[in-house]
Amino acid sequence: MTTTESNDVEAAEVVVDPNAVSVTINGKQFTARKGDLIIKAAENAGAYIPHFCYHDRMSSVGMCRMCLVEVDTGRGPQLMPSCMFPVAPGMVVETESPASKAAQEGIIELLLANHPLDCPVCDKGGECPLQDQSFSHGPGESRYIEEKRHYEKPIAVSELVLLDRERCILCDRCTRFADEVAGDALIQFTSRGNTTQVATFPDEPFSSYFSGNTVQICPVGALTAKPYRFKARPWDLQEAESTCTTCSVGCRTAVQSSRDELLRYQGVDSDPVNWGWLCDKGRFSFEGVKSDDRLTTPLVRTANGHESTSWNSANAGAVRMITDAIAAGGASSVAVLGGARGSNEDAFAWARLAHDVIGTPNVSAQLGDGLPVGVLGMNRATIDQASSAATIILLAPDLKEELPVLYLRLRDAAVKNRSRIIEFAPKATGLTRYAWRTVFYEPGTQADAVSATLAQPEIAAQLAKGEVVIVAGRANLAESSAGTTAALLALSAALPEAKVLPALRRGNVVGAISVGMRRGKGGLDSTGILNAAAAGKIECLILVGADPIADVPDADLARRALAGARRIIAVDTFITDSSRLADVVFPAAAYAEKAGTTTNIEGRVTTLAHKVTVTGTSRPDWMVAAELAQLLGTDLGFGCVDDVTAAIAAAVDGFEEVTAEALEAAANGVLAGVASFDAIATPTVVLGDRNSYNFRLVVSRKLYDQAVGTAHSPSLAKLAAGGAVFVHPLDIARIGSAIGADVKVSTPKATIVLSLAADDSVQRGTAWVPFNQTGAKIGELIDAAAAVTDVRIESL
Amino acid sequence: MSRLTEDNVRVAHEIISRYPRPRSATIPLLHLAQQQDGYVTNDAIRHIGELVGATSAEVLGTATFYEMFKFEPVGKYLVNICRTMSCALMGGEELMHHAEHRLGIKAGSTTPDGMFTLEHAECQAACTEAPTLQVNYRYRFRVTPETFDALIDDLAAGRLDSEIPAHGTVARIRQHIPAERGVGAVPPEDATNAPSWMTVAEAPK
Amino acid sequence: MTGTTYSHAPGFVAGDRPQIVTARFEYEDSYTLERAIATDGYAGLRAALSRSATEVHDEVKAATVLGRGGAGFPAGTKWGLTPAGVWPRYLVVNGDESEPGTYKDRLLMERDPHQLIEGCLIACYAAGLSQCFLYIRGEMALAQERVAAALNEAYAAGYVGRNILGSDFSLDIVLHWGAGAYVVGEETALIESLEGNRGMPRLKPPFFPAAIGLYGKPTIVNNVETMANLPWLMRNGSAAYTAIGSATSPGTRMVAVSGHVKRPGVYEIINGTTTFRDLLYGEEFCGGIRDNNELKAFVPGGGSAPWFLPDQLDLPFEGRLIGAAGSMAGSGAVMVMDDTTDIPNAALTLTRFYAHESCGKCTPCREGGTWLMRILDRVVAGQGTQRDLDQLLEVGGTICPGDFPHASSERLGLAAVPFPYKMTTICFVGPSAYTPVHSALTLFRDEFEAKLVKRTFIPVTAVSVSETEAAL
C-alpha cells in the first residue's frame, strides 16, 4: 500500500487573537473564547461535563455541584465547579480524572438520596437529565437506606404548572428563571437546608406568562405542565422543528406529536430570536389545533343555515360569487381581508389570486388595529439590534401582553444595563418598571409628547450615546392610527439614523404584507374596505383567516360591513362570529398541519413544520387560492407548497435570498431584505374638545382573551381575565361608584355596562378596558373614524 | 392577620431610609411585624414586600430561611434550650427532659394556656455557662432543674415582665439616627466618587 | 494569680495579663459613653483622624491584626484588596457569632459597644469605606440593645455621623440584625442576608467581597473582635501591639473554654504563645479538668475544628502550628471532654448542628450532612452496624474528598494530617458536619463499635454441593 502524504508543514502563522484562550482539556490543546466558562469551553471541545443547575441562558449559581472537575491553574489540580469559572490561559482541565469522576458519582448518589426514583410513572422519564446522568455519570447503586423526604404531591403552583417537591433536586433553575428571565419572582425557595423547597406565596400563584419554560428547563420531573401530564412517553414522541405563529416574534419551537396527535411544543434556542423561551400562550396553543370544534368540511349557507358540502361544490359556489361580483360591480367590488394568520405561501397565493386573477386592489392583511404598511419600508431593526441598542424607544403596545418573548429580550437588555428604554405609553406596561424614562401621554397627543421629550437635554444626551431602535405599534385600539403614526414620523424625522422594529402582533402579518396582501394602486385599506362594505359597495368580501367582528376595534363598523357585503367567502379553522355570516366557508389547515414559511417582525423567514394530518378535509389556504384561481381560468402553477416558496423568492422584492436551500442551510432562518413601500403620509390628528368630565379611553389587548385560538385551548381559555373598566384609584371617587360595582360606560354612539376596577397603572383622566374579553363589548364604543374616544362613566 | 400599623409603618420607613437599597430592610421589618403580632402574618409579608419592593414570595423565601421567624402563634414565652456540644456535655439534654416534664409538653409545642413554647436551640454563644437557655432571647445560665422551675414560676406570675417582653420583641432599644447628624444612605450607583477624606487619589485599574 | 470573675459580665474571667479589648470589662457601666470617655474612649479615633487615611491603614498593616472570625486573614491586607478607583465601598462588621463553643463578640458588644464603634470608625476612615453595617446575631437581644443605645449616644455626641469630631470624615453606622441562621456568619452569606435575601453563600472565588460584595460593590467584612482591637492599636501604635504575642500572631485574642473544666470562661490570652496546657490546667485559666478527671479530647477552635487529644496539649494557641497539627485555631473556642464523655454522642451534637444549619445550596452539604446525622443518630441509639461506620466515612469522602486532617496519636500510632481539607461545597458548613464524625471515628472508633447492634447469628455449617448431592 502506498500513500502519498504531504510532509509540508504549513508555516504556522502567528495570529494573536485577543479573544483566544489556550487551555488543555482532557490532554488536548483547545482554543477557547475569552470569558467562556470552563463547562462551555469543555463542551465546545467535545468533553461533556454533567450538570443540573447550569443553564447557559441564565447566570451560574454553582448550586448542584455536579459539574465539579479537576482544574489545574498552576497550583495543582483542584476540584472546581466548572460553571462558575471562566477559562484562563494555560488551564488544565480533567473532566474524567478519577477525582472528577468520584466527585460526580458522589453528587449523583446524594441527589438520588431523597429522589423518589419513580421514573416509570414520571413524565420526564426518558428525557430526564437526572435519569440520563445517573446512568452516564452515577455510581450505579445507592447506599442510602434512610427514609426519604415526603411532601404532598403534586401541588399546583399555577393554573398550568404542577410541582412535585419530592422529585425536586433544588437546582434553582425555575426560581432563577422566574426572577432573572421573566421578572416574575413568584416562586421561591422557602425553608432551609434539608427541608428547602420551592413554593409560591399563599394565594399568589406563579401566574407568569412564561411559566411553561420552567417545566422545560426542570432537570427532573418536579415541574409538569397540565396540558401534557401523562399524555405520552418521550420515546413515543416524534418532533419537527418549526416556528410559533401565535404572535409575530417568530420563536423557534419543536412541535411534538404521538400517533398523529399534537402533544407538546418545546422552545428551541434560536440565538437571534427567542433564546429557547416561549410564552405560555404559544406553548399551549396546540390544544386549539386539535379542538373538536375545528371545521372538517366546507360549508355553504342554505335556507337552514350552514350545511356541509363537498369541496367541488363549495369551490363552484365561491367562483360563482366572485364572477357575479365582478360582473355586478367590477373587480374592485371584491375585497380580501386577512392572510396574517397563515404562512407566507398562503398569503402569496391569495395575493396573486386577488391582485392578478380577480384584479382587485382592495386587499389588506390588517384589521384596523395596525399601522400604515409603510412602516415596513423604514430602516428595519432586528431583535438583536433592538436589545443591544444604547436606547430603545417604545411607541408600542404593552409588549408583555402582545409580543411576550420580545418583552423578555428587551427586559434583558434593560436589566443587564445594555440599553436604556424610553417609553411613550398611555398606561403603564410590563416594561415600565425597567424603563429609564416613561412618558405617559393622553391618547391622541403622542406626537406632542415625543416632541416635548426629544427637546429635553438629558434625553438628547442619552440618544447621542449610540444606536437607537424605535419599537412601533398601536398602544390603543380606541383611537385611529393617526396619533401613533404622527409620533413615529416625528421620531424618525428627529432621529434619521434610528432603526424601527414594527410591533404588529398577528403571526405572519409582516410576511403577508411583504408578499402582497396589501392594497394595490387606488385600493382601500382595511378600514376603507369595511366602510365600503357597510355602504353596500362590496359585492364579495373574502375573509382569509380573518374575523373582523372579533378583531376590528370598531365593532359596529365590522358588523355593518359584514351585513353590507353581498356575499362573504371565509377560509377559517373554526366557525367564528364572522365566518358564521359567510355564504361559503372553506375549512383551513391549521398550524402544524401544513408546511411553509413565516416571517417575523424583523423580516426573518423561518420554516413551518407539517407535523400532523389535517383535520377533516381541511386544506392550506394557498391550496384554496390556487384552486379558485384555476377555476377562474388562471393556473398559478402551484402544485405543492415548495412551488409557492420558490415563486415568492422569484417575485417578491426582498425575498430573493429566501429559497428552500437557504432555509435548509440556515439554522436561524433567512432575513428578508426590506422592500420599498410608499412613504407614510403625515396624518392630521383632529382632536375634539376635551370635556374634562369624560375619560379618554384606552383599549388594549391582554395575552389571554377571547381570540379563537385561545378560546379553543381549554388550558388557556380559563386564564382570560374577563372584562372591566379600569380607572386610576384616585378617579374612583369622581365616578360616584364603588370598586366592583357595575357602571355605565357611554359615548354618544352606545352605552355598555362594565364592572368598575381600580388600577394605578392607568393614568388619571383615562379609562382602560381590555379588548375582546367576555362581558365587555368595548368595541361598541370605538369609532374607527375618530382620532380618540372619550367616554362617560356613571353609576347605574 | 394584619398589616403593619400606621406607627409601625413610620418605623419601617425610618429603617428603610438607612439602607442604600430598600430590600436590605427585609429582615428588620420582619422582626417589626413579629413584634407587632407575636408572629409573622401573611398580610405582614405582603405589606413588607410592598414596602421594600419585593414579591410576597421573595419575602416569604427570606423569612422562612431564618429560624426566629414564626408563621403561626407561639406562646408568650419562647423557651429555647441549647443542645449543642458544650451544653450537651454539661447536661443540656437532661435539662430539656426536665423542662418537658415541668411544662407537660414536648419540645416544639406550646402549653395549652398559650404561655410557653418549648424548643430545642442550637449554640447560643454562652458555652462556658452551660447548660443555657433563652426566654424570648434573654439568657439564663447554668440552669438546674430547680432554677428552671423557679424561672417558670416567675414568668407565669408575671414577676419578670419588666425584664422579658412578650415573644416578638427582641431589642427594646432601637437605633435612631438624628436627621441633623446622619449622613444618609445613597444608592450605590449614585455614590461613585471617593469619600471626601480620602486625600490620595487612586488611579482606576 | 487566679482568674477574676465579675457578676456583671458572666462568663468573662480576667487575669494578670495585657488587656487590649477587655480593659473596660471591670466596670459595671462599661457600656456607657460616660465610662468610655473616662477610660480613653475615642482617643484612638482622635489619633487616627490626626493622621491621613493612608497612614492609619499602614499602621494597621504593620500591626498584622489577624482577623478574629476564624480564617485569620490580616485585616490591613484585606482592606487593601479593594479594586482601585471603585466606589462606594462598604464595611460589614460580622457580629453573627454562632460557631459552637465560641463567644467573645457577644461580650464585646454587650460590655463595650463604644470600643466596637470606635474600631469601625477607624477602619472606615483608613480604608475609605462610606457606610458601615453592624450585623448582630438575631438571638442576642442584650447586645442589640447595648449597641443601639451606644450608637444613639455616639451620634448625639458627634462621634458618628456627619463631620465626625469636626473633621471632613462622615460616616453612618447602621445597626442591622439577623434572625437565626448560623451560615450567615460566612461572609458572602452575610452579605446576601444584609441585602434582604436568604443567607446562602456565594461562590468565591472568582469574586471575593473585597471586589464584589454588598450591592455588587467592594465590601470589607471584618469580625467584631478584629474591630475592637483598633482603638488600642491607634492609641498605642503597632510596635506596642506586635510586642505582645508571637511574631506570626501578635496581640491578644479572646478564647472561650467550655465543657469539662473547673473554671470554664472567656479569657483574653496572649496570642500565639499560650499553650492548651496553660489554658486547661493553668491556675489563672481553667484550673484543670472537673473532678480531677482525665482529659479525653478537646476541640481547639470551635465546632468546625478537628479534635485534639492530650498529645497536643503543649501546642501554643497559634494558627499555623494548630493547622500543621491537623486542626484550626478558628474562632477561639476550646471545648473540653473528660474521660466520662460519650464520644459518639458528643460528635452527634455537632454534626446535628451543622446538618441543621445547612443553607441547602450545595448538594453535598444539604443531602450529605443530614445523611451523616441520620446514621450517627442510629449508631448512638444502638442500632448501627459496622457498615454504618464505614458509610459515615464514605459519605464524608463525598463532602471532603482526599485525606481529611486529624491529630497525631501516640496511642493509635497515627501521624498528623495537616489542615485544610478539600471540599465539594462552597462554604465550610458541609465539611463541618463531617469533621466531628471523622475526628471521633478516627480517634475513638472502639467507642462506636461498642454501641453497634449485637446480633446473634444462627450458625450455618458449610456443606459443599457435591456432599449434598452425595447424600441424596
Q: What is the CATH number of the domain that holds B19?
A: 1.10.10.1590
Domain-embedded: residue B140 = yes
Examine the pLDDT at A678 and tell me if it is beyond 70.
yes
Question: Three-class SS of residue B188?
Answer: helix
Query: If we measure between CA atoms, which residue out of A362, A371, A359, A414 comes closest to residue A391?
Result: A414
For chains B and C, what is the number of CB pairs under 8 angstroms?
Answer: 257
Question: Of the candidates C358, C371, C422, which has its C-beta nearest A144's C-beta?
Answer: C371
**pLDDT of amino acid C463:** 46
CA distance C378 to C101: 25
Structural domains of chain C, with CATH:
19-242 (3.40.50.11540), 252-338 (3.10.20.600), 343-449 (1.20.1440.230)
Question: What phi, psi does C250 have (nearest 5°)?
Answer: -75, 165
Nearest CB to B18: which of C144, C174, C193?
A: C174
For residue A528, what is its C-alpha cell? 376603507
Q: Are C334 and C253 in contact (CB under 8 A)?
A: no
Contact C181 B178 (CB under 8 A): no
pLDDT of A2 reads 42
Q: What is the pLDDT of residue C207?
A: 76
Nearest CA in chain A to C370: A194
Which of the two residues, C461 and A371, has the higher pLDDT score? A371
A483-509 core/surface letters (b: 16 or more CB in 10 A; e: else): bbbbbbbbbbeebeebbbbbbbbbbbb
User: Is residue B11 in some structural domain?
Assistant: yes
A107–C366: do the CB atoms touch at under 8 Å? no
Give mean pLDDT, residues C22-41: 97
pLDDT-based confidence at C72, cuts 50/70/90? confident
When divided into structural domains, chain B yields a total of 2
Q: Is A189 on the interface with B (CB under 8 A)?
A: yes
Q: What is the pLDDT of residue A693?
A: 80
User: Which pLDDT value is given to residue C462?
Assistant: 46
Question: Given this model, what pLDDT does residue A197 score?
Answer: 97
Supply the pLDDT for residue B200: 59
Any A CB within 8 A of C181 CB? yes
C-alpha distances (whole Å) from C408 to each of C274, C311, C376, C405 are 20, 7, 24, 10
Write the residue in C363, C369, C397 that is nearest to A65 by C-beta. Answer: C363
Average pLDDT, integer, range A543-565: 96
Measured between beta carbons, which residues in chain C are less than 8 angstroms from residue A191? 360
Same domain? For B142 and B107 the reply is: yes
Q: In this structure, what CATH number is given to the domain that contains residue B123?
A: 3.40.30.10
Residues B83 and B35 in one domain: no
Encode pLDDT of C302-351 as tens digits: 999 999 999 999 999 999 999 999 999 998 899 999 999 999 999 999 99
Q: What is the pLDDT of residues A711-769, one digit of tens each?
A: 999 999 999 988 999 999 999 999 989 999 999 999 988 999 999 999 999 999 999 99
Does B64 lie in the same domain as B88? no
The residue behind cell 454534626 is: C351
Is there a domain that residue B105 lies in? yes
Say whether A187 and B42 touch across the interface (CB within 8 A). no
Confidence label for A688 from pLDDT (cuts 50, 70 and 90): confident
Query: B202–C85: do the CB atoms touch at under 8 Å?
Result: yes
- Domain final residue pick, B55, B71, B87: B71
Residue C91: list chain B partners with CB under 8 A: none
What tens digit of pLDDT does each residue of A102-134 get? 999 999 999 999 999 999 999 999 999 999 999
Task: Tell me, yes or no, whether B54 lies in a domain.
Answer: yes
Kindly state the percentage of chain A with pLDDT values over 70.
98
Q: Is residue B161 part of a domain?
A: no
Mean pLDDT of C41-49: 97
Element holding A129 (H helix, E strand): helix A129-137
Those of residues 159-188 in A touching chain B at CB distance below 8 A are 179, 184-188
Question: In the structure grid, which three cell numbers stand for residue A398, read together?
Answer: 404593552
Q: Rounded to whole angstroms, how far apart are CA atoms A279 and A408?
A: 10
Distance in Å, alpha carbon of C156 to nearest chain B alpha carbon:
8
pLDDT tens across C386-396, in order?
999 999 999 99
Whether residue B150 sits in one domain with residue B83: yes
- Compute the distance between CA of residue A793 and CA of residue A693 in angstroms, rounded to an integer: 9
Question: How far is residue A433's CA from residue A430's CA, in Å, rounded to a whole number?
Answer: 7
| Average pLDDT of chain A to the nearest whole number | 95
A51: pLDDT strictly greater than 50? yes
| B69 → chain A, closest CA residue | A191
Q: Among B48, B71, B94, identify where a domain stops.
A: B71
Helix-, strand-, coil-residue percentages of chain B, each rounded to 5: 40, 10, 50
Which of C184, C196, C227 is CA-nearest to residue C93?
Answer: C227
Expressed as residue numbers, the domain containing B102 is 77-156
Indicate if the pLDDT at residue A663 is higher than 50.
Answer: yes
Quote the CA–CA distance of A248 and A510 in Å, as a whole number: 8
Cα–Cα distances (Å) from A754 to A717, A757, A768, C176, in that order, read 20, 9, 11, 50
Q: A201 and B56: CB-CB below 8 Å? A: yes
| DSSP conformation letters of C114-176 | HHHHHHHHHHHHHHT--EEEEEE-TT-HHHHHHHHHHHHHHHHTTSSBSSGGGSS--BEEEEE
Closest CB from A61, A84, A113 relative to C371: A113
> C377 CB near a chain A CB, below 8 Å?
no
pLDDT > 80? residue B117: yes
Q: Which amino acid is at B97?
A: H
Evaluate whether residue B112 is within a structural domain. Answer: yes
Mutate: best of C204, C352, C359, C424, partner A, most A CBs <10 A: C424
Residues B24 and B84 in one domain: no
**Quick one: B149 and B125 in the same domain?**
yes
Q: Which residue of B has its CA nearest to A194?
A: B65
What's the pLDDT tens digit per position in A258-308? 999 999 999 999 999 999 999 999 999 999 999 999 999 999 999 999 999
Q: Do B25 and B93 belong to one domain? A: no
Task: Closest CB to B181: pick one of C129, C162, C345.
Answer: C162
Based on the fold, state whether residues B62 and B110 are members of the same structural domain.
no
Q: Taking each helix axis from N to C terminus, what angle separates C429-443 and C369-380, rounded to the nearest 10 degrees?
A: 30
Length of chain A: 796
The reply to whether A144 touches chain B by the CB within 8 Å rule is no
CB contact under 8 A, B61 and A190: yes
> Alpha-carbon distance B53 to B33, whole Å?
17
If 0-12 CB within 10 Å is exposed, 13-18 middle and 19+ buried, where does residue C347 land?
Answer: buried
User: Do B85 and B39 share a structural domain?
Assistant: no
Q: Which of A186, A189, A202 sits opposite B42 (nearest CB)?
A: A202
Whole-angstrom Cα distance, residue C173 to residue A434? 32
Please give the pLDDT value at position A775.
85
B193 in a domain, yes or no? no
Domain boundary (B156, B182, B197) is at B156
- Provide, rounded to the nearest whole percent, the portion of chain C with pLDDT above 70: 95
- Which of B56, B62, B122 is the best mutation test for A, with the most CBs of A within 10 A? B56
- At A776, the pLDDT band (50, 70, 90 cuts) reads confident
Q: What is the pLDDT of residue C456?
A: 60
Average pLDDT over residues C81-109: 95
CA separation for the pair C360, A63 (Å, rounded):
9
Examine the pLDDT at A528 and tell me if it is beyond 50.
yes
Q: What digits encode the pLDDT tens for the residues B70-102? A: 999 999 999 999 999 999 999 999 999 999 999
Bigger pLDDT: A688 or A495? A495
| Residues B110, B83 within the same domain | yes
Residues A20-45: what's their mean pLDDT? 96
**Average pLDDT for A333-337:** 98
ipTM of the complex: 0.96
User: A633 CB near a chain C CB, below 8 Å?
Assistant: no
- Domain membership flag for residue B164: no
Alpha carbon distances (Å) from A692 to A168, A685, A735, A787, C177? 56, 19, 13, 17, 52
pLDDT band at residue A690 using 50, 70 and 90 as cut-offs: confident
pLDDT of residue A785: 86
Q: What 8-state DSSP symbol labels residue C201?
A: P
| Band of residue C204 on the pLDDT scale cut at 50, 70, 90 | confident
Neighbours of A330 (CB within 10 A): 12
Q: Do B57 and A200 touch (CB under 8 A)?
A: yes
Give A187's contacts in chain B (Cβ within 8 Å).
Answer: 57
pLDDT band, residue C457 (cuts 50/70/90):
low
Q: Which residue of A has its CA nearest to C423?
A: A79
Q: How confident is the model at residue C472 (pLDDT cuts 50, 70, 90)?
A: very low
Chain B neighbors of C11, CB-CB under 8 A = 126, 128-129, 141
Indicate whether B51 and B98 sit together in one domain.
Answer: no
Rounded to whole angstroms, the Cα distance separating B57 from A185 reads 7
CB of A760 less than 8 A from some CB of B: no
Residue C157 CB contacts under 8 Å (≥ 6 apart), including other chains: C33
Closest-CA distance of chain C to residue A110, Å: 6
- The shortest CB-CB distance from A79 to any of C181, C363, C424 is to C424
Q: C98 vs chain B: nearest CA distance in angstroms?
A: 6
Same structural domain for residues B90 and B145? yes
Residue of C45, C97, C131, C263 to mutate, testing the B interface (most B Cβ within 10 Å of its Cβ) = C131
- Residues C29, C404: Cα–Cα separation, whole Å: 47
